[in-house]
Amino acid sequence: MEADAQVIVEKRGGAGIIRLNRPKAINSLTLPMVRDLFQALQRFEEDAGVSCVVLTGEGDRGLCAGGDVRIIHDLGKAGDPQVLDFWREEFPLNYRIARFGKPYIALMDGIVMGGGVGISAHGSHRIVTERTKLAMPETGIGYFPDVGGSWLLPRAPGECGTWLGLTGNAVTAADAIYAGFADYLVPSDRLDGLVQDVSQAADTASIETVITARAVEAGEGVLSINRDIIDATFRFDTVEEIVAALSARQDAFSRETLEVLQKRSPTSLKLTLKLLRLGRESASLIECLEREYAAGTEILRQHDFYEGVRAALVDKDRNPRWQPARLEEVREEDIAPYLAAHSGNLFPDHRL
């Protein structure tokens, strides 16, 4: 595999190693990378000599900062019909990871956001480190947690997933484990040895022994410490009620959370909450991915995603001008088109 490839695939002993290789972009995913990942998984699943897959990211900043939304922004602004190709292939990749037939070991070192969560948190063995910063930050760019976020987030304890999805705040290793996005905390200086040992492990039990031997206690994080407040304020089914509950409290955590929500896209907040509540009642990951794809299709027809990416990544003024700008201006009928029935496009061979 060429060293300048965006995804480096190699076999080391019994391990199939997949290395994301866009370190300057914190390994943000492009469509060719999604395709390379899918093909690598197919190859390793069919190879009887491969006992597990290890996913890692090159560079020292993180596993993956998400999908390259700047590319999606530019294609969408240009009206390019290929703009949906990324999600059309990324979401089946997320599902393949969730259903992968061998241990899938994701090394979630450093930044793991958005699409980076999609290629790690659906795996069987999710390893975070003391450097992990995990987030689904999409409401800050006029989007919503996708890549199966509407399946994963509602399955976090209590309303922790609602807090994560609406605020978009980054959390640490302890929180990632508490929320069910990761399994083990392994110090970053032990990862090389871990990879070396799992490449020599013969079966799943041996792989788990290798991992647990290097794992340490995660301790408490923001979510567990503030669980009572999160459950009390985020249990509602409208964003207005959540905001009112936070506004009625005087503690620092509630005030800080409220300040964050006030900066997010009002449309994204309402759409995200709807998707999370629907995801809570959904029977399968596929059902959530299909719904997310429909919502993403509508997002590209509207204002806030382009404005959010402009403010964050194009002009970088960090001052998005949302339309509508206030929660009360976002009506139920404005959200309805995002949730229109839209099944069978991504997974025609599966029943929802």
pLDDT in tens, 69-126: 999 999 999 999 899 999 999 999 999 999 999 999 999 999 999 999 999 999 999 9
Digit-coded pLDDT (tens) for 156-185: 999 999 999 999 999 999 999 999 999 999
Q: What is the DSSP letter of 141?
A: G
Q: Report the relative pairing of strands 184-185 and 62-64 from DSSP bridges.
A: unpaired
Quickly count: other Cβ atoms within 10 Å of residue 341's Cβ. 8
In this predicted structure, what is the pLDDT of residue 333? 95
What average pLDDT does the structure give for the chain?
95
The DSSP secondary-structure symbol of 327 reads G
Q: CA nearest 221: which of 190, 276, 261, 180? A: 180
Identify the residue whose tokens are 């059902």.
287
pTM, rounded to two decimals? 0.95
Q: Give how far the C-alpha of residue 169 lies from the chain's centroid of Cα atoms, to the nearest Å.
A: 12
CA triplet 230, 136, 328: central angle to 5 degrees? 65
**Secondary structure (3-state) at 347:** coil
Q: In this model, does residue 351 exceed pLDDT 50?
A: no
CB-CB neighbours of 331 under 10 Å: 10
Residue 340 has a pLDDT of: 86
Residues catalogued as catalytic: 67, 115, 138, 146
Model pLDDT for residues 18-63, shown as the tens digit of each residue: 999 999 999 999 999 999 999 999 999 999 999 999 999 999 999 9
Query: Tokens standing for 32?
Result: 């060719």
pLDDT category, 215, cuts 50, 70, 90? very high
**Contact, 40 vs 5, CB < 8 A?**
no
How confident is the model at residue 202, as a pLDDT? 82
**Is residue 202 within 8 Å of 193, Cβ to Cβ?**
no
The per-residue pLDDT for 344 is 52
